[in-house]
Structure 1
């Protein structure tokens, strides 16, 4: 399930200022399991078409990066972003519903 948060709500709901740019350092593939304790997953994956938002089910998200396969997006933009992200470290995790345990695990695992 996804939550739709509008940019103006980040400050009032979460106390966060909006960023004008960002840099990706790693790619995370989380798997959420209610009964799981945080742990590294044996599942190894890479980016695929399902990792890009597109189609009628994603119509509430603006295509600000021009990555959607329909409308303003184009194949070249998606392939360029996917190629850049493919060069970064990839980590698969199984996380539970204990937010503190998840945060501690991720902070420790990603530091090493």
Structure 2
């Protein structure tokens, strides 16, 4: 299941932010029976982390009206953003369904 930002207020009662600052990159995996922790040999950013191509996947161009518009933005801009994000500390993590324990783990991991 995918959750999109515009669904946060209605589904979760969470207001959308108008800005922010990235301090870490997290690549989470969710396994209900797992103990929260860092995954060895974590991954890096790749092209699959950006939406690109003729249309992004939320709004497929079923009527053929996009006329080659790249819904993911320009390739050079995506590359610039990826380069900046790649300079941040990154963590591949495994989490379970214990939200409070996961939040505490993530806070400790990223609190430097």
- Using the size of structure 1 for normalisation, the TM-score is 0.74
| Structure 1 portions without partners, runs of 5+ | 62-69
- For 1:44 and 1:34, how far apart are their aligned partners in 2? 20
Cα gap change, 1:97 to 1:56, in 2 (>3 Å): farther
Residue 53 (str. 1) matches residue 51 (str. 2): yes
Whichever of the two has the greater Rg, that structure is 2
Contact 2:37 2:95 in 1 (8 A): yes
Residue 31 (str. 1) matches residue 29 (str. 2): yes
Match of 2:88 in 1: 88
Residue 104 (str. 1) matches residue 104 (str. 2): yes
Shift of 1:19: 2.4
| Structure 2 portions without partners, runs of 5+ | 60-68
3-state secondary structure, aligned to 1:92: strand
The 4+ residue runs of structure 1 with deviation greater than 6 A are: none
Cα root mean square deviation, aligned: 2.4
Shift of 1:17: 3.0
3-state secondary structure, aligned to 1:30: strand
Shift of 1:56: 7.5
- Using the size of structure 2 for normalisation, the TM-score is 0.74
Shift of 1:74: 1.2
